[in-house]
Amino acid sequence: MAQDRTGEVSEAEIAVHWREEAYVRAPSLFIAQANLTDPAVFDRFALDKFPECFKEYADLLDWHKTWDVTLDTSHPPFWKWFVGGRINASYNCVDRHLQKYKNKTAIHFVPEPEHEAIQHITYQELFIRVNETAALLRDFCGLSKGDRVTLHMPMVPELAITMLACARLGVIHSQVFSGFSGKATGDRVVDSESRVLITMDAYYRGGQLLDHKEKADVAFDEAKKAGVTLEKVLVWQRYPGRYSAKTPLVEGRDFIVSDVLPVFRRRRVDPVKMPAEDPLFLMYTSGTTGKPKGCQHSTGGYLAYVAGTSKYIQDIHPEDVYWCMADIGWITGHSYIVYGPLALAASSVVYEGLPTYPDAGRPWRIAEELDVNIFHTSPTAIRALRRAGPDEPAKYHYHFKHMTTVGEPIEPAVWRWYHDVVGKHEAVIVDTWWQTENGGFLCSTVPAIHPMKPGSAGPGVPGIHPIIYNDDGHEIPPRSGHAGNICIQNPWPGTFQTIWKDPDRFVEQYYERYCKDRNSKDWRDWPYFANDGALQAADGYYRILGRIDDVINVSGHRLGTKEIESASLLVEEVSEAAVVPARDEIKGKTPDLYVSLKPGLRASDELRKRIEDSVVREIGAIARPSHVVIVPDMPKTRSGKIMRRVLAAISNNEDAGDISTLANPEVVAEIRQMKR
């Protein structure tokens, strides 16, 4: 079984007990129109064809200059793809489509309030708006290639426009999920040393127009305290020409984008011919320490990989209306709302609000209205929609050919509801396993080639060659059904290049564990360690069991337990903190926070509330603990280590196993009593 190095049992063991499910075949109508139907693709992408096989993905793009070397391995594990090539991501997602598709919708924007009209932005209009915004960033903000900009924007088309404007200039964007707090945004401004913060005044969520600008003020102040002073804060308006936030603007620092833009009307900005290996963006994610890490993604390799997987795994054709309900603030949104679909000239839906607002029929009304035929979401959203409106999909006349699930394991029963009720037996499902670090999918069935199997992601996608190791570094026999730590044997173009400003951590966290020879310049000696447990069934499909490090997957969103613990430790009274995952019917997992207080202090509701507030302030509401339990003492080993395993057992009403070796076994019953 997958265990972390401290000997604590991983959180995902229940999934291993799911039984093997029967195959479900793709409808023939789907296969007849699919982009990828030839099983020979797996020969073309076999390990002995590596790395040249990935030319097939790079050829989906327009290059200003073709690359000289497909893969440079001279400085492992800092792989370099398509070296010598020059390319621009904005050009590939916008300009190159104009000739054929200028009148086609690039982005359908669906506001949360149902009475507001849907906006349909054509490729021509996207071209104009991206150019004008790029001119503003260049000439008003003085930004150029290599500069960093932090975006803290909600789900609006201006977010995609801003990203593409940055990409046009070679400016590295770092979008922070809008649900993260001002403090969390400020931390990311500091780490990336951003010169400019771009935000929006307000947005709708659950029927309320939220003041979002107030978070920018917190971010600015926090960054300044840490020695990084933002030069400007740009504020898009949810309703252009009308300021919708209560928080006032700061003279000389904050600028309303729609006030400045008129100066740049009709301006065109030549796309900068970027070296393929220059970074396109940073995406911060949680890991084993309290500090989020900036995953640095490349321009050429990343774009090639998301274009290839969008075409072959998502089966996107330019004619399709594609809706990924994730947030652009996560990697899924970057790769599979913005860069992948737009590189293929698809029409991509951007929905502002909650899937269940005002009721669980909303997604299906949107699908019907826009005639969406590819749908992409997470198990958490599927579970929530199923609970709130199990019969809703049947009421609406939409037809999906293809559906995706991503972010967490999906229970077979939930998978079946997705397939039978949402997909109306007409759609294929791909269960895609991957991570912020990876850029794009790692494991999935190829929808017209492999049958689906509920509860399993599938084999490695073309060009991805997984391997499972046990804790001692030995390979677990392929197709044995035994769990271990999943790794990828080979590099791939979508992989992140490093952790921003922390190359040592990059090597240590992802490559050191299973590296065969530190001095080797052969990629074969450097498997990528994903930090997930997995098993491979006899048919070659992988089932992902969950994180083996200190990461909790809440509603498919990655949170570091250490981040939540650090936030609670900021409350003066708190002496020690431990976060463990508790199973949740809808969200998959939620964080339970256990704290002990400094000597002589007493628990109170007021204190519990302050602890909770501290977590929300430091990280954001998504990290709010489901319970804050103030305990008399943490269960500890004799060497003083907090036994999170025991706390997790209490949170999940399970047997804590042998606790006789604890220094204080008596607290276990006491805490269990408190938790009731």
Q: Interface with ligand WTA by CB under 6 A: which residues?
A: 285, 330-332, 406-409, 431-436, 457, 532, 544, 546-547, 553, 558
- 136 vs 534, beta carbon nearer ligand WTA: 534
- 129 vs 293, beta carbon nearer ligand WTA: 293
CA 447/CA 106 separation, integer angstroms: 24
- In the block, tokens 């740009």 appear at 234
The DSSP code sequence of 431-445 is: EEB--GGGSS-SB--
Given a contact cutoff of 8 angstroms between Cβ atoms, the answer to whether 249 and 232 are in contact is: no
What minimum distance in Å lies between the beta carbon of 287 and ligand WTA? Answer: 10
CA 333/CA 516 separation, integer angstroms: 35
CA 456/CA 426 separation, integer angstroms: 20
Sequence letter at residue 333: G
- 282 vs 406, beta carbon nearer ligand WTA: 406
- 105 vs 405, beta carbon nearer ligand WTA: 405
Give the pair of three-digit tokens for residue 148.
Answer: 């960093």
In 455-587 the beta strands, taken as DSSP E runs, fall at 466-469, 484-488, 498-499, 528-536, 542-547, 551-554, 557-560, 574-584
The DSSP code sequence of 31-56 is: HHH-S---TTHHHHTSGGGTTGGGHH
- 67 vs 177, beta carbon nearer ligand WTA: 177
Parallel, antiparallel, or unpaired for β 232-236 and 196-200? parallel
Question: Of 541, 64, 60, 638, which Cα lies nearest the Cα of 306?
Answer: 60
What minimum distance in Å lies between the beta carbon of 478 and ligand WTA? Answer: 19
- 349 vs 544, beta carbon nearer ligand WTA: 544
- 215 vs 543, beta carbon nearer ligand WTA: 543
CA 377/CA 393 separation, integer angstroms: 15
* Contacts for 243 with CB less than 8 Å, ≥ 6 apart: 201, 237, 249, 256
CA 58/CA 70 separation, integer angstroms: 10
The partner residues of 57 in beta bridges, in order of sequence, read: none
Given a contact cutoff of 8 angstroms between Cβ atoms, the answer to whether 525 and 513 are in contact is: no
What minimum distance in Å lies between the beta carbon of 438 and ligand WTA? Answer: 8
Cα dist from 315 to 244, 442, 502, whole Å? 39, 16, 36
What minimum distance in Å lies between the beta carbon of 380 and ligand WTA? Answer: 11
CA 419/CA 438 separation, integer angstroms: 27
- CA 173 to chain centroid, in Å, comes to 15
- 398 vs 441, beta carbon nearer ligand WTA: 441
What minimum distance in Å lies between the beta carbon of 403 and ligand WTA? Answer: 13
What minimum distance in Å lies between the beta carbon of 313 and ligand WTA? Answer: 12
What minimum distance in Å lies between the beta carbon of 406 and ligand WTA? Answer: 5
What minimum distance in Å lies between the beta carbon of 411 and ligand WTA? Answer: 11
CA 584/CA 53 separation, integer angstroms: 42
- 88 vs 456, beta carbon nearer ligand WTA: 456
Given a contact cutoff of 8 angstroms between Cβ atoms, the answer to whether 379 and 407 are in contact is: yes
Residue nearest ligand WTA by beta-carbon distance:
436
What minimum distance in Å lies between the beta carbon of 454 and ligand WTA? Answer: 12
- 70 vs 298, beta carbon nearer ligand WTA: 298
Given a contact cutoff of 8 angstroms between Cβ atoms, the answer to whether 393 and 419 are in contact is: no
Given a contact cutoff of 8 angstroms between Cβ atoms, the answer to whether 494 and 283 are in contact is: no
What minimum distance in Å lies between the beta carbon of 29 and ligand WTA? Answer: 25
What minimum distance in Å lies between the beta carbon of 16 and ligand WTA? Answer: 12
Given a contact cutoff of 8 angstroms between Cβ atoms, the answer to whether 391 and 362 are in contact is: no
- 223 vs 551, beta carbon nearer ligand WTA: 551
